[in-house]
Amino acid sequence: MDSPTISITQAPSSSPNKIWTGEEIQELYNTQVRYKDGTGQYWQFVVQQEDINRNGGWDIDIHFRVEWNAPDNVTGNIERQQSRWWRLSKHSRKNELINAAFLAIKTAAEHEMRENFQYMFEGLWTMPYNTHTDVDWLAEASLHQDLRVDTRPDAPKNQRRE
């Protein structure tokens, strides 16, 4: 069987001028995209469309987020977890919508990883990479000595001060 010929100079067969609705994007995500986490659960995409008045004319805003069931990282109770909202353009190409879904999953998974990575500090399990840490506390901590400085004479040059 011959493989189809693909040309990088020719536009894909899907219409580049498609105007998406929130309902169509939800259908796309429901039928053509899925992600299964390490517990075997599939995460869901929730798409919302809002009618808005933009410069005196009506238009739509489309946004989505990812939702999944998992233990709360503080209480341990199984709860519905939700990512941040991601904005989408109604003028997006299909590959842009799929890439947005991938990025939303990747960002939410990294967020969970940061909360689940723990370090024993002064007898307590802490979450040093937790994204909910106050930015001013992080700024204060950054004022302490740079830990990358290695005073050993045989340390690599990029890790020691001359």
In a domain, 151, yes or no: no
When divided into structural domains, the chain yields a total of 1
In a domain, 134, yes or no: no
In a domain, 94, yes or no: yes
Helix (H, G, I), strand (E, B) or coil at 24: helix
In a domain, 139, yes or no: no
pLDDT above 70 covers a percentage of the chain that reads 83
Q: Phi/psi of residue 59, each to 5°?
A: -150, -175
Residue 19, class by beta-carbon neighbours within 10 Å (0-12 exposed, 13-18 middle, 19+ buried)? exposed
Q: Please give the single-letter amino acid code of residue 82.
A: Q
6-45 residue pLDDT tens: 555 555 555 668 999 999 999 999 999 999 888 888 999 9
In a domain, 103, yes or no: yes
In a domain, 12, yes or no: no
Q: Give the residue from 91, 95, 100 showing the smallest Cα distance to 18.
A: 91
What is the span of the domain harbouring residue 91?
22-117
